Every structure is written in C-alpha cells, then in structure tokens.
Amino acid sequence: MKNYSVVFFSIFLLIQPCISFTQSTQGFFLNDNEQKKAIIPPSKKIKIRTEKANILVDIDVADTIASVSKYLFGNNTNQWMGQIVTEPVLLNHIKKLSPNILRFPGGNMSNVFFWNSSPNNFPKDLPDVVLSGERDKQKYSSKYFYEGKNSNPSMFSIDNYYKLLQQTNCVGSICVNAGYARYGTGENPVATAAHYAADWVRYDNGRTKFWEVGNEDYGTWQPGYKIDTTKNKDHQPEITNGLLYGKIFKAFSDSMKFAAKEIGSEIYIGATIIELPKNKISDKEVDKNWNGGFFKSAKNAADFFIIHSYYTPYQKNSDPDEILQSATTVTKSMMEYMNEMCNENNVLLKPVTLTEWNIFAEGSKQQTSYIAGIHAAIALGEMIKNKYGMACRWDLANAYSNGNDHGLFNKGDEPGVPKWNPRPAYYYLYYFQKYFGDKMISSKINNDDSVIVYSSTFSSGQVGMVIINFSTFKKTLQVTIKNFMKGNNYYIYSLTGGKDNNQFSQHVLINRKEINVSAEKIEDIPADKFKIKNGIMISAPSYSVNYILIENK
C-alpha cells in the first residue's frame, strides 16, 4: 500500500500545475441560464444586394465555442445617481436593456458605505479622517455613506436598490465594505467588519446570491489602503497587502456564509484580484505581490475572482483604433493571466467576473460616443469567447464632465439633452443581447483583420450574428452556414455614427436613420429584411456594428 501511495502522490504532484485549466471560468453563473428564443423583429423588405463580396465567412452550427452567460450584460448602480425608482423614463430604458444583474453600492464608495446607518448613527469605531495613498500627509475627511431609509433624495438607498431589481427583473451583486476591516478603531476591526457584512446578508434574506468583499482594495485611492497605525488595535501594517487581504477575505467569507446558512440561503463570495501580470500594470510593491499574497493566505476560499478593467490608458486622448483594439487584446490577456496566475500559485481557477469595465479614453468625448458602443460590442463578444462568468459595465449614471462620462444615461447635466437620454453604447448593448443566442458557435473569416464576426445559435433554432467593421472602408461579406437548415429570411440592424464631433460622434444611426430613443420606441424600429434564397450577404459600413438574425426552417 505504501508503494501505491507514493506513486499516486507523485503523479498528483506532476499533474497538479495543470489542474486550474480544467476548472470552469463560468461555473455557477450558468446555473440560471434558460433556453433563449429569438424574436423576429418588425422589418421592411430591402432590394437584393448586387455588390460582390470581398470577405467570406464560414459558420458551423455544430461547433459550439461557449455558453452565453446571461450575467455578462450587467451594469453598475451607484449611490450618487439618486432614488431612481421614481424615474419612469429611466426604468423603462433599463427594462428594455435587460441587464439581468445590477451591482451595488458602486465602486470606491463600497469601502465607506454603511448599509444600516444614518447621519447620526454610524458605528462608534470610525476614525475622524480616512487616509489615502502612500504620501504621509495625504488625508481625506471622513465622508461615510449611509443607507438612510430613502430619506436622502440624492443618494440611492438599499431598499430602493432592492426595489429597482424587482422593477427591472434583475438580480444583485453586492460589494461589502472591506475598508472598515482596516480603518476601524475597535479591538478587532476585521471581526467587527466581517460581522457587519454578515448582518447585511441576514437583512438581504436570500435576495442576493453574488457578493464581493471590497472594491479594488489594492488601490492607493481606496479607503483602507493606508491606515493610521496609532489608532489601530490589532497590529495591522500601515499599507495593505495581498496576504492581509486574504485573511480579511476569509474572515468575511466565513462570517457571511454562516449568516447565509442561518437563513437557509446559498451565496457565492468573490475576491478582488489584479487583472494582469504585475510588470504590466504597476511598479508598486502592493500590486506586485497582491495576488500571490492573497492566495498564500486564502488558498481556494474565493468562490469567484473579481477583476476590473478600463481597457485604455488612463486619461489618454486615445484614437478609435487604440480603443477598439483594446477590446480584443485586453479581454483575452486578462483571462490568459487568470490561468497562468492560478498555475503559479497552485490554486484552482474559479469563475471570472469583470464587475467594472469601460474605457478610460478622454479628451474628445470618447466615453459618450458611438465608438464606446463599438468597443462595448467587441468586449462582449470577447467575454463570451473567453468564457467570463459575469460582467457589469460601469455605470448607469455618472456626471457628464464634458463627455468624460462613463454613465450609460444622461443624469440631467448634459447640455441640450433630455434627462435619462441613453448614450450611444445603450443601443449597441441592447441589440447585442436581443440578437445573440445562448450558444456561441465558430466563425471563420478570410484574411481581414479589420472585421470581427461573432456567431451564435438560439435554442429556438435561429442563428444570430454580430459583424463589426472597424475600418474606414465599407466591407461586403458573404456568409455560409454549415449544419443549418436555412429558413426564408434574414434581418439586419446596422449601427453607425453621425457626422458630429469628428471621429467621436455622439449620435447613432440605425439602418441609416438617426435615432432618438426618448422620442420613439426602440423595439418598433424595423430591421432590414432580405431573402435567404439569394444568399446571405451583409454590407458593413465603415465603423459599424451589424446585428443579424437568420431564420431556420
């Protein structure tokens, strides 16, 4: 028996480095997937295309690449967007968009948010100032945020968050305050903060399955990154690190899962991971050692990994090509690194979530342009292809800031634009989910790097495609589909930009017509309709995203 044990153990050691590759990066995020049925859109007949195709596309319905998690289409709420459940125009837009999952309380604020507090009823162990950054004299005045029971019209409360989820048929992803475990001045701040998070799980009472411990806790901008050690009573270091975060995470996870068990609920808890190799993102010691330190102390305790990406360089006036190319390269690189990271640290690869994503490009109104919409379409296609489990775009509403605004909707501060008017990216996200099925299938395209094709099947039998042309020239594609009984018609929505604002138009044209969704119903916009018997030909204008639905027999 001893000899067999030695042999088995030796084999285990040899194969162990490869174990992470056998794990699912979608996992339980597919548990709620339902069969997706295509809806034939309203349409108008278009004349037969006569131009010659310069690109050939081959699709094989029998070659499935990935399941499509319905949680990839999520978005972020935040505290400063107001009590939006009383805004019927916005609620109608969100319901049509159908993001399926909405994150709360939003970004950096999560680490100073006290879910059951009021202006005169914060925990007694909070410091007067919260330190931030690595510079000795940098301090922020203590500005803690509270639940408020809907009393503050400018701040989004917990109860209204839950109401929003009901009104929009979404589920939640809640980010609890891990910064409190660092800056709390009590005898055992980690245990106190973990217990506080567990009490939120109890209050939630089974409404939320997905929970995050902290937000970007490795960042110099985060409350809790740096603490005043003279006020700390459990000998924590001045600057945080991954090893410490791993211990904090385990304390939170144990306490929160105990609370979930008490109320008969199953929850999944995610940990904050740095998304790319340390040498590619930072020279700071905290960043370099974050992931390794976390896994050293937490091992496989996380149910899923949380990464964030704003794709393009911070505050750079990036051009369209840099923005659009980042959607493919960064999405793929992050997932490749998740595999490498797990092998390096000898841990299991868990489902991967991108709970904040957008572009940092600014200076030319990139974030509120149709180019941001094209980027969003490519990023979604790449997330599906690379098997992400969940993604939440940042965010529903923010601040205009002369076009440097991540908000999907105008909060009311954009000059000359109706309040809650959707930004261009809204349309690209809407049509993607509407006309992309529940299984991604293989697409092969001849040598043209300026066109991307994502293909899918619906459970109801139809084929859905997204064709993206990010060149300055029109392209004509001929599509051949294997293992598919074609029906009579195919339908196209072609989205392009307007002529304003140079390369970064703030407008969207759908099938050559400029659309104002606040003035007409997006679901009533007709698709271009073509007969399949004449072949499947798609004319893709320059810088366009084309959503295609192909009938089956």
What CA–CA distance (Å, rounded) separates 317 from 477? 32
pLDDT of residue 236: 98
6: phi then psi, degrees, rounded to nearest 5: -65, -45
Classify residue 26 by its DSSP letter.
S
To which residue do tokens 């299991």 refer? 348
The residues, any chain, with a CB within 8 Å of residue 14's CB and separated by 6 or more, are none
The DSSP code sequence of 137-150 is T-EEE---EE-GGG
Q: Tell me which residue of 532, 456, 451, 497 sits closest to 54, measured CA to CA.
A: 451
Q: What is the dihedral of CA 261, 265, 268, 271, to 10 degrees?
A: -50
> Residue 189 burial by CB count (10 A; 0-12/13-18/19+): exposed, middle or buried?
buried
* Contact status, residue 210 vs residue 194, Cβ threshold 8 Å: no
> Residue 137 burial by CB count (10 A; 0-12/13-18/19+): exposed, middle or buried?
exposed
Residue 480 has, within 13 A of its CA and on its CB side, a CA count of 9
pLDDT of residue 134: 60
Q: Tell me which residue of 154, 134, 138, 137 sits closest to 146, measured CA to CA.
A: 154
Q: Over the stretch 72-125, which tens digit does the pLDDT of each residue have?
A: 999 999 988 999 999 999 999 999 999 999 999 989 999 999 999 887 788 999
Ramachandran quadrant class, 529 (left: phi over 0; alpha: psi -120 to 50; beta: rest): beta
pLDDT of residue 138: 55
* Contact status, residue 294 vs residue 358, Cβ threshold 8 Å: no
pLDDT of residue 142: 59
pLDDT of residue 514: 86
* Contact status, residue 360 vs residue 305, Cβ threshold 8 Å: no
What CA–CA distance (Å, rounded) separates 246 from 302? 9
Q: Tell me which residue of 308, 333, 104 sits closest to 221, measured CA to CA.
A: 308
What CA–CA distance (Å, rounded) separates 409 from 398? 8
Query: Both tokens of residue 505?
Result: 């138009």
* Contact status, residue 434 vs residue 421, Cβ threshold 8 Å: no
pLDDT of residue 281: 66
pLDDT of residue 517: 57
- Answer whether the bond into residue 526 is a cis peptide, omega within 30°: no
What CA–CA distance (Å, rounded) separates 513 from 520? 12
Classify residue 543 by its DSSP letter.
T
What CA–CA distance (Å, rounded) separates 470 from 451? 6
Q: Over the stretch 147-202, which tens digit does the pLDDT of each residue have?
A: 666 677 888 999 999 999 999 999 999 999 999 999 999 999 999 999 999 999 99
Q: Tell me which residue of 176, 237, 243 sits closest to 208, measured CA to CA.
A: 176
Domains defined for the chain, CATH in brackets: 43-65+439-552 (2.60.40.1180), 100-302 (no CATH)
Q: Tell me which residue of 242, 247, 240 sits closest to 274, measured CA to CA.
A: 242
The DSSP code sequence of 470-538 is -SSS-EEEEEEEES--EEEEEEEEEEEE-SSSTTS-S-EEETTEE--TTTS-GGGSPEEEEEGGG-EEE
**Under-50 pLDDT residues of the chain:** 1-21, 136-137
Burial annotation 361-374 (CB, 10 A radius, 16+ → b, else e): bbebbbbbbbbbbb
pLDDT of residue 123: 93
- Answer whether the bond into residue 395 is a cis peptide, omega within 30°: yes
The DSSP code sequence of 260-319 is HHHTT---EEEEE---S-HHHH---HHHHHHHHHHHHHHTT--SEEEEEE--SPTT----
pLDDT of residue 365: 98
**Helix/strand/coil (H/E/C) assignment for every residue in 353-413:** EEEEECCCCCCCCCCCCHHHHHHHHHHHHHHHHCCCCEEEECCCECCCHHHCCCCCECCCC
* Contact status, residue 158 vs residue 115, Cβ threshold 8 Å: yes
